[in-house]
Amino acid sequence: MIDSAATVLPEATESRDSTGDLDASEGVPPNLLNRVQKCLDDNLENRQLSLDTQAAWQIFHGILAYGRDFTIVTPTGRQAAVEFILAGGPVNGFTPRAGDRFEVASADGSIESSGPRVRRGLRFDVDPGSKRGPGHRDQWLAYLTRCDLPLDQEIVTSAGTFEVADWLRQIEWDVPMNFEREYSWTLVALSTYRDTRFRWVARDGNSYSIESLLRSEIDLLSPSSACGGSHRLAAIATLLRRHQAAGHAVTGVWADAASLTEMAIQQAREFQNADGTFSASFFERPDWSLDLSATLGTSGHVLEFIALAADDETLSEPWVSRAVEAVCDSLERTAHLDLECGALYHALAGLSVYHHRVSLLHGHD
């Protein structure tokens, strides 16, 4: 798949699976979920990534969209990407290293009579801009959280066999090394396995918490953040939903997170284009583009955030349905083209999260 060339969208044509007048409709149009599912199925089946030509960066974006269902072409045929990677299959850009040594308690939380076990952490170095390795700290584990991996899930690597718990422990320990102060992927990974009130001591001897990293993400959010701030917003929305699902009070930094996500949802709606696409300038101002990378990339990223952040009532509003229609339309009309993997799979991730939540809302899943 092409990861640089800009492609001009063909002129819009009438949808081959029209859902009717979305401006006049109430709730989710009857055929929209079917159209989304078909779009997801078609792109999973027909867009193939190969180890011969694609690297970990592209493959992990596919995992973000499809989880364990995502497949890749290997020297022995088409295989499930996650299982291939966990079993130690070589992937360009997936370069694990053995990390620090940690004393680990037994499974029941007590220290064994023979003393604590010593395990090595698992570490991945960032490789920004290469489109091979992770462009952001802790990006790989954040994307793998789509797969519901248990903490004792083994990961076979050239550096040895590790568990997800080893990876998580190293992430916590290395927080002070995140000199960019970009914690979006770190927070998604941590909050999958830790309570949102979790605290720990890192390698610099200082105490950190999920709340303190969340505060930093809120304070540093700007239009210059990765993908117009959509990644930070998606992480903030993910944390907020997990905090609320655990029954914790939405006060302090959590109240700020709630206000921020609501404001971003309103800006996305305010800046939405007449054709249903979202602004080519994300949450900064109204903007429109004929460039596929801009149109699919921005609309897909913003839809992904909306699908994660919006409440059930908002997800059923016509403006969200129009956005979903626009993303499906772009993907259907470019089914024969190679698309930039970041734009493609974030759009498909947005459709996947939307389909799951709306299906549950309407009792279809």
At 203-223, the pLDDT tens digits run 999 999 999 999 999 999 988
Tokens of 308: 């994660």
For residue 363, what pLDDT band results from cuts at 50, 70 and 90? confident
Amino acid at site 163: E
Host H or E run for residue 122:
strand 117-124
User: What is the predicted pLDDT for the residue at 362?
Assistant: 78
Per-residue pLDDT reduced to its tens digit, 125-153: 999 999 999 999 999 999 999 999 999 99
Q: Is the pLDDT of residue 247 over 80?
A: yes
User: What is the predicted pLDDT for the residue at 143?
Assistant: 98
pTM (predicted TM-score)? 0.89
- Show the DSSP H helices in the chain as ranges: 32-46, 56-66, 81-86, 139-144, 164-173, 184-193, 210-220, 230-245, 253-270, 292-309, 312-315, 318-333, 341-361
Closest to 14 (Cα-Cα) out of 334, 329, 347, 358 = 329
User: What is the predicted pLDDT for the residue at 3?
Assistant: 36
Q: Is the pLDDT of residue 15 over 80?
A: no
Specify whether the CB–CB gap between 81 and 72 falls below 8 A. Answer: yes
What is residue 197's DSSP assignment?
Answer: T
- Show the DSSP H helices in 157-291 as ranges: 164-173, 184-193, 210-220, 230-245, 253-270
Lowest mean pLDDT among 27-31, 64-68, 182-186, 248-252: 27-31
Across 241-266, b (16+ Cβ under 10 Å) vs e yields ebbeeeeeeeeebbebbbebbeebbe
